[in-house]
Amino acid sequence: MKLPAFLLLLLAGLVTAQTAAPPAALSETAIAATTWANTLTEEQRKKSHFEFNDEERQNWHFVPKIRAGLSLGEMTAGQRSLAFKILKTTLSEEGLKQSKEVMMLESVLAETDKRPGFRDPKKYYVAIFGNPASGDPWGWRFEGHHLSLNFCSIDNAIVSLTPAFVGTNPATVQTGPHKGLRPLGKEEDLGRQLVKSLNDEQREKAIFNTKAPQEIITAEESQARLDSKEGLAVNELNAEQKKIFDELVSLYFERFDEEKVTILRKQLATEKDSLLFAWAGGTELGEPHYYRVIGKELLIEYDNTQNDANHAHSVLRYFNGDFARDVLKEHYEHGHKH
């Protein structure tokens, strides 16, 4: 299978662009976003830029559809490179690699589905909310099929990285030059390893349904909600199980740049002892399954049920912190300009 030329260039890091640099006082992410914005035409800017408080900022999704924003296909090669530089300032090396693998799978689906116009790795969209160079709160989103990454900055610092959705279809590539590729393989394997390590008493608490839900339960809701929060408390795990649990949760944090993810780690530390692990569905390889990690604020969901359990979804969310709701509330209550 021949990959699109632009994606090969991006993966190889060969695309460069020359543009005027914004003020150095801005954060690395704001500089990257402003640099990218400086290259846009007026028409491109109208598509990609929104007011910070526009409702669109919280209108996220992960299905294949047209998004608000400017697609990679509507950008020049240089603009695409600069768009990925924004992403590079917020994701870790592993997170960027995983995101590009998810995008590449659109080319695999284009061949298997015989719908190249529908399955297109250029149908990923950049949207900017507010003005990165103003010093006011602003946000940005990188989104397309199976990828929705949402960021918010206040006082020139990233304060929210969620909701952060990563999906993969197929979960395991079965044929072709990418056979064996599993962008969410570690997330699946560690979850199964943990549930299979549980004794009967622990499994009674952890497995809340023998049938997995067809989708992550919070879906694309702008605010995460769960009707019930059953599960096995982390303090009921033994030392080896806690190690597996910690590795599993860390996978979702390690998608981000270490400096940016500090705020998530601080939140995790405050609720570590209250976290719950819950599982639904089969526990053997190839069986439809679902798991989640729940805290007072933290929510991780993972499912692999569709396409004969070869189509996985995962999301990292916060019940009150997605799109920086909690931080913005405090920000505005302390007299900052709305």
Domain check: are 135 and 253 in the same one? Answer: no
The answer, yes or no, to whether residue 337 has pLDDT greater than 80, is no
In this structure, what token pair is assigned to residue 76?
A: 């020049």
266 pLDDT band (50/70/90 cuts)? confident
In a domain, 171, yes or no: no
Yes or no: say if 86 and 29 are a contact pair by the CB < 8 Å rule: yes
98 and 236 belong to one structural domain: no
* pLDDT given at position 334: 62
pLDDT at position 186 over 60: yes
Question: For the whole model, what pTM was predicted?
Answer: 0.90
Lowest mean pLDDT: which of 21-35, 275-289, 291-305?
A: 21-35
Q: What angle do CA 274, 302, 269 make, to 5 degrees?
A: 30
Mean pLDDT of 241-260: 95
Burial class from Cβ neighbours inside 10 Å (0-12, 13-18, 19+) for residue 78 reads middle
Count CB neighbours of 218 within 10 A.
19
**Quick one: three-class SS letters along 76-88?**
CHHHHHHHHHHHH
Q: Are residues 132 and 248 in the same domain?
A: no
| pLDDT of the residue at 6 | 45
The answer to the question of residue 336 being in a domain is no
Whether residue 149 sits in one domain with residue 103: yes
pLDDT of 34 > 70? The answer is: yes
pLDDT at 4 over 90: no
- 3-state SS, residue 144: strand
Whether 174 is in a domain gets the answer no
Residue 19 confidence class, pLDDT cut points 50, 70, 90 = very low
On whether residue 255 sits in a domain, the answer given is yes
- Domain hosting 254: range is 185-320
Same domain as 142, residue 75: yes
Tell me the average pLDDT of the chain: 90
Of 3-17, 32-46, 241-255, the least confident: 3-17
pLDDT at 8: 46
DSSP character string of 212-236: --SS-TTTT-SS---S----EEGGG
Could you tell me where the DSSP H helices lie in 136-210?
185-197, 200-206
Query: Which has more pLDDT, 19 or 92?
Result: 92
Alpha carbon of residue 68 to chain centroid: 17
Q: What is the DSSP letter of 91?
A: B
Q: How many CB atoms lie within 10 A of CB 79?
A: 22
